[in-house]
């Protein structure tokens, strides 16, 4: 498959609404995901993530607005959308008496993949998901991690340009989550566009190019993790470890314009630096060393995605 232009939006939500009676599950959501990006979709239970993902997968229709995959509308061109999209739901049906290769072959045939192309697609999918060595194992004997790999294989069997993954790491052990993360980044490196929802925020922070946080059906914020952190907290926390003289450094830092909230002991000084530019950090460290403070460590304490999520959301449900 030829990689799409990195500037081309492969996923577009345009003022999307979905109402269920008086409940607005999705309320005026708009965002784009460019080709080759991994976009993390974050929100508490009942926020509207799955509803909007189902609309993208043509399994539901919006009350208002539209969603596009590779430029095709889920309302006007659902067949073209399905050709270009693979959907991995948070729970999926299996046929326990089938084995892995029979299951994937069934879906390959459903997509109209014929002859040698189907054999090639099966071989590639089994190899990529690591199921090739257990291809003939009955599905009922698979572990949770292997079942998730099988579901990913089902979503990618027809080589779609866009993949929608709803809670793919749910219930996986740490090794299985790491391996899944590598597979997702590998798919993005091949030019595929991925929209991934998860409650495991550390996973999303490590593998996503951008994120969107949704609550009560509304998109609260979107952008890269670094951009969102900078917007919410335009300063960084700095830790300086010394051989001694922390109180003296505290007095010295009080004369530095960008420094505030200083906390010091004899060997440790913490403060906030209002200039998050790395060059300014280097300049400040050099100035501290030039002032003959004996520095053992100068480090910034980054804010986790969990911290961002807790600051932005309120925990309200619909």
pLDDT tens-digit series, residues 263-290: 999 999 999 888 677 888 999 999 999 9
The whole-number pLDDT of residue 106 equals 95
Per-residue pLDDT tens listing for the chain (318 residues): 444 555 679 999 999 999 999 999 999 999 999 999 999 998 888 889 999 999 999 999 999 999 999 999 999 999 999 999 999 998 877 787 899 999 999 999 999 999 999 999 999 999 999 999 999 999 999 988 899 999 999 999 999 999 999 999 887 888 888 898 999 999 999 999 999 998 777 777 778 999 998 888 999 888 887 777 667 666 788 999 999 999 999 999 999 988 999 999 999 999 988 867 788 899 999 999 999 999 999 998 766 666 677 766 666 555
Q: What is the pLDDT of residue 169?
A: 86
Return the number of other C-beta atoms located less than 10 Å from residue 203's C-beta.
Answer: 21
Please tell me if the domain spanning 9-230 has the same topology as the one spanning 234-302.
no
Instruction: Report whether 98 contacts 136 (CB < 8 A).
Output: no
CB neighbour list of residue 78: distance below 8 Å, 6 or more residues apart = 58
Question: What pLDDT is attached to residue 46?
Answer: 84
Q: How far apart are CA 307 and CA 201, in angstroms?
A: 10
Q: Which CATH superfamily is domain 9-230 in?
A: P-loop containing nucleotide triphosphate hydrolases (3.40.50.300)
Dist. CA 85–CA 52, nearest whole Å: 14
Which SS3 state, helix, strand or coil, does residue 245 take? coil
User: What are the residues whose beta carbons fall under 8 Å from the beta carbon of 21, sequence distance 6 or more?
Assistant: none
Output phi, psi for 118, to 5 deg.
Answer: -70, -40
Q: Which of 40, 39, 69, 63 is nearest to 51 (CA)?
A: 63
Q: Which pLDDT belongs to residue 1?
A: 45
Rg (CA), the chain: 24
**Cβ-based burial of 97 (10 A; exposed 0-12, middle 13-18, buried ≥19):** exposed
Largest separation between any pair of C-alpha atoms in the chain? 77
Could you state, in order of their start, the residue ranges of all structural domains in the chain?
Answer: 9-230, 234-302
Separation CA 224–CA 204 (nearest Å): 11
**Contacts (Cβ under 8 Å, ≥6 apart) of 202:** 304, 305, 306
User: What's the pLDDT at 314?
Assistant: 67
**pLDDT tens for each residue of 7-31:** 679 999 999 999 999 999 999 999 9
Tell me the CATH number for domain 234-302.
Answer: 3.30.70.920
Sign of the C-alpha dihedral computed for residues 169, 147, 60 and 207 taken in this order:
positive
pLDDT at residue 29, rounded to an integer:
95
What is the rounded distance in angstroms from the CA atom of residue 196 to the CA atom of residue 49?
10
Contact 37, 188 (CB under 8 A): yes
């Amino acid at each position: 498959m030829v990689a799409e232009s990195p500037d081309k939006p492969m996923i577009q939500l345009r003022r999307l609404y979905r109402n269920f009676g008086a409940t607005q599950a999705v309320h005026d959501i708009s965002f784009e995901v460019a080709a080759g990006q991994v976009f993390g979709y974050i929100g508490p239970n009942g926020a509207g993530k799955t509803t909007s993902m189902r609309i993208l997968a043509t399994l539901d229709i919006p009350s208002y607005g539209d969603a596009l995959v590779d430029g095709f509308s889920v309302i006007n061109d659902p067949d073209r959308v399905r050709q270009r999209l693979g959907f991995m739901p948070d729970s999926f049906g299996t046929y326990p008496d089938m084995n892995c290769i029979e299951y994937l072959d069934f879906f390959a045939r459903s997509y109209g993949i014929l002859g040698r192309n189907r054999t090639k697609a099966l071989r590639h999918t089994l190899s990529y998901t690591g199921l090739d060595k257990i291809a003939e194992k009955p599905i009922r004997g698979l572990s949770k991690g292997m079942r998730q790999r099988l579901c990913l294989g089902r979503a990618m069997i027809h080589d779609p340009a866009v993949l929608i993954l709803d809670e793919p790491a749910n219930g996986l052990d740490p090794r299985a989550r790491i391996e899944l993360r590598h597979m997702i980044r590998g798919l993005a490196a091949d030019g595929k566009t991925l929209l991934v929802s998860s409650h495991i925020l550390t996973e999303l922070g490590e593998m996503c190019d951008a994120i969107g946080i949704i609550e009560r059906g509304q998109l609260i914020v979107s952008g890269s993790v670094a951009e969102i952190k900078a917007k919410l907290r335009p300063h960084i926390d700095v830790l300086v470890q010394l051989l001694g003289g922390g109180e003296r450094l505290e007095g010295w830092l009080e004369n530095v314009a960008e420094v505030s909230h200083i906390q010091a002991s004899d060997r440790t000084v913490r403060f906030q630096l209002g200039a998050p530019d790395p060059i300014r950090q280097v300049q400040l460290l050099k100035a501290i060393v030039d002032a003959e403070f004996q520095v053992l460590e100068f480090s910034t304490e980054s804010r986790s995605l969990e911290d961002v999520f807790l600051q932005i959301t309120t925990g309200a449900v619909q």
